Amino acid sequence: MRPSTAILGAGAMGSIIARGLLRAGWEPPSISVADKMPEAVENLATATGVQGAASAPEAVAGRSVVVIAVKPNNVTELLDEIRPALAADQLVISIAAGVPIAVFEQALPGIPIVRAMPNTPAAVEEGMTAYATGTAAGDEQAAIAQEVLGSIGKALRVTEEQLDAVTAVSGSGPAYVFLLAEAMTDAGMRLGLDAATATTLVNQTLRGAGMMLGISDKDAAGLRVQVTSPGGTTAAALGVFEDGGLRNLVDDALQAAAARSIQLGEAAASDS
């Protein structure tokens, strides 16, 4: 039986999770949703059949899992609101970016906590979510988190110390791919392609290459070598990338993203 689930926050990611759970086999009555914006709850409930709740405490009552899907600066207030309604056997999963497990454990002593970092391809069931467990969450709670988070793509258990790196690699990663798509499309147009043709060529190329990465027994380097003939067109392009310092640029970009994640986490901890 799927664990009954409350989702606190009916914004983009909360809605994605609700729909993912339904596609994975959750029954609509087993999912409750609450949000400060009643119209967001009403819209999601009307579209999906999940149970709209008038308040966060009402939504979490009797649910096995509580997903925190609000903005980081709203977490402390929300935890104060739901604390009296929570029981020790409920699992709290937070997707609030950058908010450390310690903030939740301080506000909700004894409650099992899981901190997760999803990404936007969850909207098409191709998300990559990494999660870490708190001191009161053991393997049983990790298995439940794996089931819930696996409804929107792949889920991977890591340590909390790794989540800043996760944020830099997969949390922000889709934007890097979209930037590459923009750059390739613009370059294709400068080569004489019309916008529609360039967009179709780039989007399908990135889609196909991503699928190959997912199913091939070769890693990225192996796939790159496989498609790169010595002295050919691909080698010419890759040489420009390498000479231009692409690898160092990517490293610098991910270091910046990880550093910003650390800063946001420290700010969230100091505000709690």
Asked if 149 and 129 count as a contact pair (C-beta separation under 8 A), the reply is yes
The confidence score (pLDDT) of residue 272 equals 64
Banded model confidence at residue 246, pLDDT cuts 50, 70, 90: very high
Alpha helices in the chain (DSSP H): 12-23, 38-48, 56-60, 75-82, 101-107, 139-149, 163-166, 173-190, 195-215, 220-227, 233-243, 246-271
What is the rounded average pLDDT of the residues 126-138?
97
The one-letter amino acid code at 143 reads: A
Q: Is 4 exposed, middle or buried (0-12, 13-18, 19+ CB in 10 A)?
A: middle
Angle of helix 173-190 relative to helix 195-215, nearest 10 degrees, comes to 140
Average pLDDT over residues 23-42: 97
Mean of the pLDDT values across residues 235-260?
A: 97
151 vs 36: CA distance, rounded Å: 25
Span 195-222, pLDDT tens digits = 999 999 999 999 999 999 999 999 999 9
Kindly list the structural domains of the chain, giving each domain's residue range(s) and its CATH number in brackets, ordered by start: 5-159 (3.40.50.720), 173-259 (1.10.3730.10)
State yes or no: pLDDT of 141 exceeds 90. yes
* Averaged pLDDT, 3-16: 97
The side-by-side arrangement of strands in the sheet containing 113-117 is 51-52, 31-34, 5-8, 65-68, 91-94, 113-117, 127-133, 153-157
Q: Which long-range contacts (CB under 8 A, 24 or more apart) does 72-75 make?
A: 72/96, 72/97, 72/98, 72/99, 72/264, 72/268, 73/271, 74/36, 75/99, 75/103, 75/104, 75/268, 75/272
Residue from 220, 208, 234, 129 nearest 173 by CA: 129
CB-CB neighbours of 42 under 10 Å: 14
Reported as a pLDDT band with limits 50, 70 and 90, residue 24 is very high
DSSP sequence for 120-131: GGGGGT-EEEEE
pLDDT per residue as tens digits for the range 72-130: 889 999 999 999 999 999 999 999 988 999 999 999 999 999 999 999 999 999 999 99
pTM listed for this prediction = 0.92
**Tens digits of per-residue pLDDT, 158-186?**
999 999 999 999 999 999 999 999 999 99
Asked if pLDDT for residue 1 goes beyond 90, the answer is no
Where do runs of H (alpha helix) occur along 49-87? Answer: 56-60, 75-82
CA distances from 55 to 47, 113, 145 (A): 19, 21, 23
